[in-house]
Structure 1
Amino acid sequence: MAPTLRTERLLLEPYVLEDEDDFVTLFRDGQVSQWMGNGPASEAEYRALFGRIFTKVYAQDLFDVWAVRRNGRFAGHAEIKPADVAEGHEIIYALTPDLWGSGLGRELAEAIVAHGFDTLGLGEVYATVAAPNGASLAVLDRIGFEHVRDMAEDDGSITRVLRRRAAGPTRQG
């Protein structure tokens, strides 16, 4: 199970069953879902995805995934997981739109990256971002990610693959 992480303003902790409605609301928000996975999905698909966090991800200890909280309320989603497209571990994060522009995206991304380097012992971490998602690209640029390559998607869109390398010795990679 994912460890609890704390930043100055955020708490990242494993999901609990009571988070399901907040999770579904986050991912059903068009401003969020346009940048996540394959885009918007149905409520039933998001509820099934939430269920798999418990029945698969946590049950099999596959990777770290968190509910993000601010001042005790649900504020977003975060994970770090192996990803073939990135040839390593990829960070994924989303905040509720009411928190965008507050610097919390940077704080959240930094926390996930630090966990990858310091706890998981990774030598590098990746992120994949839709080319038009300027806000996420700017956040990742500010915290030291570099552009590796672009991937053309089946629908003709472009996904940017970014990487950040650890500064010092690591246990892996």
Structure 2
Amino acid sequence: MVGRVTPELRTERLVLSPYVRADEEDFVSLFQTAAFGEHFGDGMQSPEQDRALFARIFSYVYAEERFPVWAVRLDGAYAGHAEIKPSPAPWLDGYEIVYGLAPRHQHRGLGTEVAAALTAYGHETLGLAEVHATVDSHNAPSLTLLERLGYARRREVKEDDGRVTCLLTSTAEGWAARG
């Protein structure tokens, strides 16, 4: 069942594969790092909340075949998290990519590989005309990475807490033209 919704994806150096229960500690550790946790979902959560989120990957996302969610692996070891899903943002009707790497794997071009794989999957496998990313306006590395992949800034949304979220979009035509 999981393989149908979350197929294995490969990049030059990475394997994106469905989570297994043994990934829980690595998942929680990643979500507890400020660099990742602050920019994901509702921001930093408690370790217990992150454990509950991990459990929902199996009990809800995989069990109900909601959307693909991957563990990112480098040389067989857990390196990060990735997904492509219907956006929960009330101002965005479409699919967005979500990804993050453990700090020890950052600044090596791996984020570009993950984002490119997710974008390709969205356009080429899911047939999406648009693939979106929502990024905190202060997250310059992600904004730069996505723009390098051909994403265009489409909108800035002021959140209730005063932060600004940037909406970036990749179009199927733009993606195909890259290749």
TM-score (norm 1): 0.95
Equivalent AA in structure 2 for residue 29 of structure 1? T
The runs of 5 or more residues in structure 1 that have no matched partner are none
The runs of at least 4 aligned residues of structure 1 exceeding 6 Å deviation read none
Q: 2:71 aligns with which of 52, 67, 71?
A: 67
Q: Does 1:165 align with 2:171?
A: yes
Residue number in structure 2 paired with 1:107: 113
Q: CA RMSD in A?
A: 1.2
| Secondary structure of 1:144's aligned partner | coil
The runs of 5 or more residues in structure 2 that have no matched partner are none
Residue number in structure 1 paired with 2:8: 4
Equivalent AA in structure 1 for residue 69 of structure 2? V
Equivalent AA in structure 1 for residue 170 of structure 2? R
Q: Distance in 1 between matches of 2:154 and 2:123?
A: 19
Residue number in structure 2 paired with 1:17: 21
Q: Distance in 2 between matches of 1:164 and 1:36?
A: 20
Question: Percent identity of the aligned residues?
Answer: 50
Residue number in structure 2 paired with 1:45: 49
**Which deviations, in whole Å up to 9, do the C-alpha atoms of 1:87-136 show, x marking residues without a partner?**
20000000011111101111110000001111111111000000000000
TM-score (norm 2): 0.92
The count of aligned residue pairs is 169
Instruction: Report deviation, 1:84.
Output: 4.6
Q: Does 1:121 align with 2:127?
A: yes
